[in-house]
Structure 1
């Protein structure tokens, strides 16, 4: 309980301060609750962020999740259930990039994206990040490997191809793993800052963290810090909703195998 309270304190302070005036936010010692809630801060934060920024962030996050699922699910199923030569070597090659710091690959990735002409485009934002799906492949491979071999053999005896086995048997049972991956991947993509800032600095392609960064650094003195905190609350809400929606399957994927 003490640990949960310590982790929740900054979150509670952000929500409380988003309803304060600028003077109350900067007051010392800080006050936990505002004297009079100022809901106008959220209206100004929405105007500052703009619907285009919110839409860009959703397109960016959901695009990464969708492409990673298209790449990871067939690859993971093949590595787990379809015997082929050099499968162990392929798995080892997939693991290696996970141990390379992302900052080391930022420059070559930017150069490739620039040469493809993808700067300030959705393709430049989404495709390079979607290609980094080693974690997803390993996550789904471990889940598919835990499925009873009898299920797969029965389907194969009945004449089902590998694609039919994946879509009709493996995927319906993989809901806990899918919920876990979607929650983690959405949170990771929604919180990205460096890559969107580097690859799409154009305001038309800006995502929410890039838009909020000047407020966090005090670079925009015309906007109250309370408005910046209200923007942080707005940015937090989609992630919170995603976790609440997938909570049942997420917890089941963490504590069990997902088999009922």
Structure 2
């Protein structure tokens, strides 16, 4: 097999796999512009005859700015609190020698193997006892506390920092807080971008916890608001409006990924040291 034929087949395979993976997104984007007649037809046309942009207007009015704002408050609150907890903990586990650090690190691995459904009821009971139902505190704090993955991720990154860099700062009289803020954090931008994109996506896509702990309209997030539109015949709105709402819900995630793409790739393929 010639080299040119090999590369052609490889690129063709990549294109086919990409189209297969992208088909649900393309179907969602196409369906969001179809009329009620086209979206209920069988078989459905691949593309709308005439794009119905009114679907996006109706979806925006259905979701309301408050619901979208609640989703941003919830997602950014989870990401911010997890960073506040995990970054100092990870740096301490990686660079500050103290007793039982290995035992603490091993303990952090355990929650990652526990299915989330098993902890849902105990977590709800604790949230109820604290009086946090139907509040942003009940939405954000229990999810932000589940930061074992973040601690392990940042700990692994901080462990790759050259020991001489830390020792030089310590010899110059810098305390651990100064080393953390002035040296470790600036070098952690790739790991930060990787975690922020993953954590934001996870929080933005959550449905079960927001539905359980804060279903009231004042604290409803976008996935809880979109759920009734997936009811098919039981939905009062066209499925095309539901697809338009799903497209609107996808836009913030795309913006976050595009904004952090450069650092995300660095965080995946390298250690972050330049």
Q: Same fold judged by TM-score > 0.5?
A: yes
How far, CA to CA, are the matches of 2:217 and 2:110 in structure 1?
35
Say whether the 8 Å CA contact 2:228–2:235 is kept in structure 1: no
How far, CA to CA, are the matches of 1:218 and 1:109 in structure 2?
32
How far, CA to CA, are the matches of 2:235 and 2:154 in structure 1?
47
Work out the number of aligned pairs and report it.
260
Deviations 1:92-138 (A, max 9, x none): 11110100000000001000000000000000000000000000000
* Partner of residue 232 from structure 2, selected from 203, 213, 218: 218
C-alpha displacement at 1:28, in angstroms?
1.5
How far, CA to CA, are the matches of 2:105 and 2:234 in structure 1?
47
How far, CA to CA, are the matches of 2:265 and 2:19 in structure 1?
21
Q: Hey, what does 2:46 align to over in structure 1?
A: 32
Matched, 1:254 2:253: no
Deviations 1:7-31 (A, max 9, x none): 1001001001101101111212221
Q: Hey, what does 1:127 align to over in structure 2?
A: 141
C-alpha displacement at 1:220, in angstroms?
5.0
How far, CA to CA, are the matches of 1:112 and 1:219 in structure 2?
37
C-alpha displacement at 1:234, in angstroms?
0.1
Matched, 1:155 2:183: no
How far, CA to CA, are the matches of 1:51 and 1:134 in structure 2?
33
Runs of 4 or more off by more than 6 Å in structure 1? none
Q: Pairwise CA RMSD of aligned residues? A: 0.8
Q: Hey, what does 2:27 align to over in structure 1?
A: 13
Deviations 1:12-68 (A, max 9, x none): 010011011011112122211110011110000000000000000000000000000
Matched, 1:87 2:101: yes
How far, CA to CA, are the matches of 2:149 and 2:165 in structure 1?
25
Q: Hey, what does 1:65 align to over in structure 2?
A: 79
How far, CA to CA, are the matches of 1:190 and 1:2 in structure 2?
29
TM-score, structure 1 normalization? 0.99
For structure 2, the residue ranges without an aligned partner over 5 or more in a row are: 1-14
- Give the secondary-structure state (helix, strand or coil) at the position aligned to 2:232: coil
C-alpha displacement at 1:217, in angstroms?
2.4
TM-score, structure 2 normalization? 0.94
